[in-house]
Amino acid sequence: MTVPDSRPVRPVAEPVENPSLSLRALNAIAHVYAKAVSENPVVQKVSPARPQRFAGYEFPVRVEAVVDEADGVKSLTLARTDGKRMPGWLPGAHIDVTLPSGRRRQYSLAGKPPVEDRYRIAVRRIDDGLVSPEIHALSEGAELTVRGPRNAFPMAAEEHYLFVAAGIGITPILGMIQAAAAARADWTLYYHGRTRDSMPFLAELEALAAGTDNTVIVASDDLDGVPHIDSVLRLAREDSALYVCGPIGLSLALRDRIPAVAPGVKFHTELFSPAPVVDGKPFAIRLSTTDEVVQVGATETALDAVRRARPDQAFSCRQGFCGACIVGMRSGAPVHRDRALRPDEQGTAFALCVSRADADSELVLDI
């Protein structure tokens, strides 16, 4: 979902140059343990690694308010029910929401809601979808579980922002605009939707721009046609940071025209759908529980291939950051493309949604 230049950097531990006696002792114990247990093929056979990632907090919430924000879009204000405060978050953050059916989806936090210590998400109804109709059927008092927040779309401090949002992509951008306004940074928003009536938060955005030199430009398919990429980029200044949230085609079109139209602009994006597989080569996955072999084609993900054999294989973001699809790995030559695994986990675990393997090789996974 996020292109590499907006990738958050994981802090790396500094090497210890003069380890103390106790550190050396711990190191020796860890070495013996690794030889006796972690690297012991018998132990691995009996008790294979099954990494499970639980990032952030999980806590119960109640739907405190449901608001019709636009045609087909509702916002939900969520209040914690265990008496604790909501974890803090920064613009661009999202949460996992588990619904009464057990289905789980990720939603960007839709700016700061009017009520303190609450989260707000906004959901567009997809009529033939599995989850958005369930969310739209929720009423005040419904109980949900939230995990997070996490941030795969962090916002840096800049002098000027050009925000581009399409449709429900306004949700993370709204929080960024609130933050830019609070920091008295300059900003311009280009906001595109199908129709004006389908675009949530227009009044809040106009209120944020009121009385300032900042601008909200609203355009829609029915009145203005599709976005004109070069015209949108010409809204940038030389020192602008461009933050985009919307369909992958819009994000990539903007990114590709930056060198010609707005060189120097810093590009950050969050996509709604997985990016297509790039430079994929075919490889095979052996499922260790049955010895079944699944072929992964050059243009499909390992997750898609595994789900042909294991339709219940867990996943969530499909973009390599949430950790939901991580499975244990026994052998093979993986090409890790995720941002969920730490370097010390990469030898024994694999993120199915984005990672791959050397061409024509075989990975053995704990599935």
Q: Is the peptide bond before 343 cis (omega within 30 degrees of 0)?
A: no
Q: Is 338 in the site for ligand FES (CB under 6 A)?
A: yes
Q: Are 162 and 241 in contact (CB under 8 A)?
A: yes
Q: Is 153 in the site for ligand FES (CB under 6 A)?
A: no
Q: Is 366 in the site for ligand FES (CB under 6 A)?
A: no
Binding segment toward ligand FES, per CB under 6 A, in 14-22, 197-205, 321-329, 342-350: 321-329
Q: How far apart are CA 218 and CA 228, in angstroms?
A: 13
The nearest distance, CB 323 to ligand FES, in angstroms, is 5
Q: Would you say 75 or 313 has its CB closer to ligand FES?
A: 313
Q: How far apart are CA 288 and CA 282, in angstroms?
A: 19
Q: How far apart are CA 66 and CA 154, in angstroms?
A: 27
Which CA distances in Å does 72 have to 26, 75, 136, 218, 295? 58, 10, 9, 18, 40
Q: Is 346 in the site for ligand FES (CB under 6 A)?
A: no
Q: Would you say 187 or 321 has its CB closer to ligand FES?
A: 321
Q: Is 220 in the site for ligand FES (CB under 6 A)?
A: no
Binding segment toward ligand FES, per CB under 6 A, in 175-183, 221-229, 286-294, 311-319: 311-319
Alpha helix stretches (DSSP H) within the chain: 21-33, 41-46, 132-136, 170-182, 202-209, 221-224, 229-233, 248-261, 302-309
Q: Would you say 7 or 228 has its CB closer to ligand FES?
A: 7
- Choose which of 73, 78, 327, 351 interacts with ligand FES (CB under 6 A): 351
The nearest distance, CB 131 to ligand FES, in angstroms, is 15
Q: Would you say 208 or 324 has its CB closer to ligand FES?
A: 324
Q: Are 312 and 30 in contact (CB under 8 A)?
A: no
Binding segment toward ligand FES, per CB under 6 A, in 213-221, 233-241, 291-299, 312-320: 312-320
Q: Would you say 214 or 319 has its CB closer to ligand FES?
A: 319
Q: Would you say 148 or 323 has its CB closer to ligand FES?
A: 323
Q: Is 350 in the site for ligand FES (CB under 6 A)?
A: no
Q: Which residue has the tokens 């050396």?
A: 24
Q: Is 317 in the site for ligand FES (CB under 6 A)?
A: yes
∠ CA 166-151-187, rounded to 5°:
50
Q: Is 365 in the site for ligand FES (CB under 6 A)?
A: no
What the block records as the tokens of 194 is: 């199908």
- Choose which of 316, 346, 348, 361 interacts with ligand FES (CB under 6 A): 316
Burial 283-315, CB ≥16 within 10 A → b, else e: bbbbbbeeeeebebeeeebbbbbbbeebeebeb
Binding segment toward ligand FES, per CB under 6 A, in 9-17, 75-83, 144-152, 317-325: 317-325
Q: Is 325 in the site for ligand FES (CB under 6 A)?
A: yes
Which CA distances in Å does 283 have to 171, 256, 280, 323? 38, 30, 9, 22
Where on the chain is the footprint of ligand FES (CB under 6 A)?
315-318, 320-325, 338, 340, 351, 353
